[in-house]
Structure 1
Amino acid sequence: MGTAEQAGRRSRSASGRLRRVTSGSAASRLWGGRFATGPAEALASLSSSVHFDWRLAPYDLLASRAHARVLHRAGLLAEGELGDVLAALEGLAGSVQDGSFAAGPDDEDVHATLERGLMERLGPLGGKLRAGRSRNDQIATDLRLYLRDHVRLLVVAVAELEAALIGKADQHREAPAPGLTHLQHAQPILFAHQLLAHVHALGRDVDRFIDWDKRAAISPLGAGALAGSALPLDPDAVAAELGFDSAATNSLDAVSDRDFAAEFLFVAALLGVHLSRLGEEVILWTTTEFGWVELDDAFATGSSIMPQKKNPDIAELARGKSGRFIGNLTGLLATLKGLPLAYDRDLQEDKEPVFDTVEQLLLLLPALAGMVETMRVDEQRMAESSATGHALATEVADWLVRRGVPFRDAHEVSGVLVRRASAEGLELWE
């Protein structure tokens, strides 16, 4: 068979798949009455998000319980119906947790999957829970709940890395080390001082996460698709039950706002930059040329061909993943920049960069903490190195200043001494 004929057959086959509609029933979708057929397989495959937004299932169920209580108070669920709905939601949550209930091939997203599970348990009563809410305010709420929950985990993980750095600084509180600028010897410092500089940077990251939460603590539930709901709901009650500070005051903003996701990704990317800087220093310290630090065997790797190698993979991955975090931030910003109000399907693309950054940081931070906690510091090697490179030149200039010499002249004198020492192959102190 010729190449052209083969290509033609492949093209006809692909065209058939593009035109073919899905075989799933309309009951598996949260929409459909307007349409005479189901979506084409190509569309269904493209728009499906359940393979990644299933992470939000516990938060969607949490919001559903709060919404059920509000429907009951509004007279839209009878007392007995509320009890049945809450019991079914509780059972569904358990099945999600143990894996006995999961998304099927016809499920579009986390919301459709969970509604299917609810209706399997309750029949038509399960459909009452859709009253007064849209996937637009649901997903905005779910993502805020997820992020607020996971930011708390990240803050704990950052604090553990801070503790490891402080502990290592305490072990070597009197150990001198070369202070570097431009990676050249500058002035002698204490190694503990350098470690604590990283602690200060991480502390600012924690402060930013805490400050971020003030703006993330707004509940979108009640905003509906974009214009709220004509039903007598109580968004403030839902917000309080879910641990938010208040409900959103503008429904358009509530469903379209992804500032909270972009701001989280910025704070996380900056944290990643700080982790990368720490990683870069550890990489330098462990080189044969520096020799200040040796990593514990449990926190280093070897080479498949060079038996002597002991590689600082954790530190290198900190550098690498920081680029990934920056990419996630810029990707989301590029997605958001041209969107009109209110909700657009482009916003389906907001979750994967968020999930990726969260999950990678929760892998990276404990590994870095373990690496720092177990690394061995060669105080003698650092002390010997701190006396080299004419690092006392500034102290010589300051000594002259204390004796009344203008600093400009003292700087010149010290520089001349450095030049002479270098020409004779001596250190300044010699």
Structure 2
Amino acid sequence: MSQPDPPGSETDEPLWGGRFDTAPASEAVALSRSLSIDVRLAPQDVESSVAHARALEDAGLLGPGEAAALGKALREVGEEIAAGRFAFHPADEDVHSAVERGVTERLGDVGAKLHAGRSRNDLVVTDLRLWLLAAGRRIDAGTVRLIRALVGSARDHAGAVMPGTTHGRAAQPVTLGHHLLAHAWALLRDLERLDQWAARASVSALGAGALATSTLGLDPETTAARLGLDRAFANSIDAVSDRDFVQEFVAHAAILGTHQSRLAADLLRWTDESLGWASIDDAYATGSSMMPQKRNPD
């Protein structure tokens, strides 16, 4: 991916404008520039923008073929960003302004229509919801595979007796299958939490505008459906101002990470040579530069 350029000259035009008589200070431009971080939202920004173009078409705000042209240009920009061929400009504050500029350069005045009825406020939060929902689906799929592996191994070792421990000391006999299923149950709860979070997070903010919608007659519910989201926002101010869905995602991810860490700690302990209950495949071990007998679980 081509790297974004540093802040440029006073001739660079930001996405916002209006009442300002002078260009912003270069230090302020550099401080507010987030392109190096939010460029990862490019696929979602293209998806949101295509849906918004169709909303503009539905509202009679685009001429014949203009929505299709916008969609084509948006996908081209997205493909160029993904391939590292897109030329970022100094005036690109973030991925959202970069995508919009790329479309406008291709289509001129038609490209500029893409900003009608839309603020970066409702666009950013919609992109972020889409990005997190996609991440949640990947985590969900990986967790399902891990649970299935644990259940399969538990079934294979249902009668294998091992010492259950408390405080790191042998306490009561249990089976290996029972111990493995303890991890599986914890991960199942993680899946439930992720699914419940996704149901709450599956909301489109497009149409909320900066904070109080617009007068253009856009249909947020249809836009939400086109994005594969469950519903549109209920309150426009809440839609653009809150990021509780991010905090909740991070909290659930932290709990999941703790459960994965507990499983990893057990596996590492079982591979200790003093126990010898399990071994690490050579593909996942490293050696020592001094001690040839070492098989380190790095």
Distance in 1 between residues matched to 2:159 and 2:69, nearest whole Å: 66
CA distance in 1, matches of 2:8, 2:87: 20
- Is the CA contact 1:26–1:32 (under 8 Å) kept in the aligned structure 2? no
Aligned: 1:205 with 2:190: yes
Distance 1:22 1:146 in 2: 29
Deviation at 1:98, TM superposition (A): 2.5
Q: Distance in 1 between matches of 2:119 and 2:199?
A: 25
Greater Cα shift, 227-236 or 287-296: 287-296
SS of 1:223's equivalent in the other structure is coil
SS of corresponding position for 1:230: coil
Whole-Å separation in 2 of the counterparts to 1:263 and 1:176 = 39
Is the aligned partner of 1:79 residue 2:64? yes
SS, match of residue 159 in structure 1: helix
Whether the aligned pair in 1 keeps the contact of 2:154 and 2:177 (CA below 8 Å) is yes
Q: Percent identity?
A: 52
Q: CA deviation at 1:160?
A: 1.4
| Alpha-carbon distance in 2 for matches of 1:292, 1:84 | 63
Between the aligned partners of 1:237 and 1:59, the Cα distance in structure 2 is 17
Counterpart Cα distance in 1 of 2:284 and 2:232: 46
Deviation at 1:212, TM superposition (A): 0.6
**How far has the Cα of 1:102 moved from its partner?**
4.7
CA distance in 1, matches of 2:150, 2:267: 12
Corresponding residue to 1:141 among 126, 146, 168: 126
- Summarize the alignment of residues 205-354 of structure 1 with structure 2, pairs less than 5 Å apart: 205-313=190-298
Instruction: Give the alignment of 1:367-382 within 5 angstroms.
Output: none
- Does residue 42 of structure 1 match 2:27? yes
After superposition, residues 104-253 of structure 1 pair within 5 angstroms as 104-253=89-238
Give the partner amino acid of 2:230. Answer: D
Q: Is the 8 A contact 1:60 1:111 kept in 2?
A: yes
Q: Is the 8 A contact 2:74 2:99 kept in 1?
A: no
Q: Of the two, which has the highest radius of gyration? A: 1
Determine if contact 1:50/1:103 at 8 Å carries over to the other structure.
Answer: no
* Correspondence for 2:11: 25
Match of 1:322 in 2: none
Structure 2 stretches lacking a partner, 5+ long: 1-6
Offset at 1:51?
Answer: 0.6
State the Cα RMSD in Å.
1.6
Q: Supply the distance in 2 between the matched residues of 1:37 and 1:287 (Cα, whole angstroms).
A: 67
Q: Which amino acid in 2 is paired with 1:148?
A: L
CA contact (8 A) 1:22 1:38 kept: no
User: Deviation per CA, 1:302-347, whole angstroms, max 9, x where unpaired?
Assistant: 223332222222xxxxxxxxxxxxxxxxxxxxxxxxxxxxxxxxxx
CA contact (8 A) 1:22 1:39 kept: no
TM-score with structure 1 setting the length: 0.65
Counterpart for residue 89 of structure 1: 74
Residue range with higher mean Cα deviation, 275-284 or 199-208: 275-284
1:238-280 CA-partner distances (Å, limit 9, x unpaired): 0111111111111110001111111110110000010111111
Structure 1: runs of 5+ lacking an equivalent: 1-20, 314-430
Structure 1 runs of 4+ aligned residues shifted over 6 Å read none
* 8 Å Cα contact 2:203/2:224 also seen in 1: yes
Partner Cα separation in structure 1 for residue 128 and residue 10 of structure 2 = 27
* Rounded Cα–Cα distance in structure 1 between residues aligned with 2:268 and 2:35: 40
Q: Shift of residue 92 of structure 1?
A: 2.1
CA–CA distance in structure 2, aligned partners of residues 221 and 156 of structure 1: 28
- Partner of 1:293, secondary structure, is coil
Give me the whole-angstrom Cα distance separating, in 1, the residues matched to 2:137 and 2:63.
37
Secondary structure of the residue aligned to 1:179 is strand
Q: Distance in 1 between matches of 2:281 and 2:120?
A: 49
Q: Paired residue for 2:3? A: none
Q: CA deviation at 1:106?
A: 3.3
Q: Secondary structure at the match of 2:19?
A: coil
* Number of equivalenced pairs: 292
Higher helix share: 1
Could you report, residue by residue, the CA deviation over 1:401-430 in whole angstroms, capped at 9, with x for unpaired residues?
Answer: xxxxxxxxxxxxxxxxxxxxxxxxxxxxxx
Q: Is the 8 A contact 1:74 1:232 kept in 2?
A: yes
